[in-house]
Amino acid sequence: MIDFHAAAVEVTAPEGRLTILHPATLTLAEPRISVIGANGSGKSTFARLLNGLVEPTSGSVRVQADSWLDTVTDGAAVRRRVGFTFSDPGAQLVMPTALEDVALSLRRRYRRRTERDEAARAALERFGIGELADRSVHTLSGGQRQLLACASVLATDPAILVADEPTTLLDLRNSRMIGDLLMSLPQQVVLVTHDLDLAARADRTLVIDEGRVVFDGDPAAAVAHYRGLA
């Protein structure tokens, strides 16, 4: 569960202070939550608030664990609990091979390399890409790279996964594959997407427009509301 209390984000621009996200107060508790909005609406900033990649300039964002964790004062603990995948998996795949990349995310949990590699192979198998373990990440297809990014994040067993535009760079087949994966995970998933069909599969949908949450509720109604803004 993630709680926003009047959380807002402002930045300094040449013309003065610019509000990227206006104050938002809400609680994210449903298993599947989608976030939709136009490019530049503030939805990616909203997503990054969820695990402290962006800090609120006013208000607060907290994540429920054994106790409430604040994304500013408890940032490291929040990021262990809230995993994050980017629209371009290249932003987070930093090791030469698939196995090494997953193993990197497990370095704190497993001190011995043999145990770490074994756990990494198990994570790759879990997502159906075990045969890619020794492949260079640069030779993988878009869908394989996105699966690998998910495996690297989920190998650490976060309670929540935030996926920011995970299907943007993928073709239809791979988009469906990633969408099906996200909808089947045991973790709570917050999905930022332009794919309205995928957004409609959530339990709850937020529409963000010009830095404000302008709709919060039923996915089908949210998609209709968003279409009305176009």
CATH code of the domain containing 92: 3.40.50.300
Per-residue model confidence (pLDDT) at position 201:
96
* Average pLDDT of every residue of the chain: 92
Per-residue model confidence (pLDDT) at position 225:
95
* pLDDT, tens only, 90-145: 788 889 999 999 999 898 888 888 898 999 999 899 888 899 999 998 898 888 88
Per-residue model confidence (pLDDT) at position 112:
86
Per-residue model confidence (pLDDT) at position 19:
92
Residues of the chain with pLDDT under 70: none
- Domain range for 104 is 2-229
Amino acid letter for position 150: C
Per-residue model confidence (pLDDT) at position 4:
97
State how many domains the chain has: 1
